[in-house]
Structure 1
Amino acid sequence: MLPYTGSVQRWATSDPATDEVLRIWYVAVTRALRLAAIALLEEGIDALAHLLAARRVPVRIV
């Protein structure tokens, strides 16, 4: 869950080595074998979809 405005920007630019919350998000997402569901505020959807698509991660928004 990315619970606040700015979560996607934090995910895109912060360093998991120094940001404990980001490290937890990273571990959760990278352990997924088939599917990772991410809940976030509506205003962050496009930014996250763009970030993931740029890294060739398939995205499905429901």
Structure 2
Amino acid sequence: MPDAGSVQRWATGDPASDEVLRVWYVAVTRARRLAAIALLEEETDALARLLTERQVPVRVV
């Protein structure tokens, strides 16, 4: 699971200079049909908003 605060890091970080973000970027952009991300429940809404703003379909279960 990502560390607490990861959603903010994903939203504002730079994968070119942050190795953890680079690994996440590669993993998620290689997904062809589905990328499932497990994270702390209190960060779910923030990630859903971030992805929705970028026109990425989101389903929270």
TM, length-normalised to structure 1: 0.95
Ranges in structure 2 where 5+ consecutive residues have no aligned partner:
none
The C-alpha deviation readout for 1:10-56, integer Å capped at 9, x for no partner, is 00000000000000000000000000000000111000000000000
Where 1:37 maps in the other structure, the secondary structure is coil
Match of 2:15 in 1: 16
TM-score in terms of structure 2 length:
0.96
Partner of 1:61: 60
- How many residue pairs end up in the alignment? 61
Gaps of 5+ in 1: none
Name which structure has the greater RCO, CA cutoff 8 Å, separation 6+: 1
Superposition CA RMSD, Å:
0.7
Residue identity (%): 77
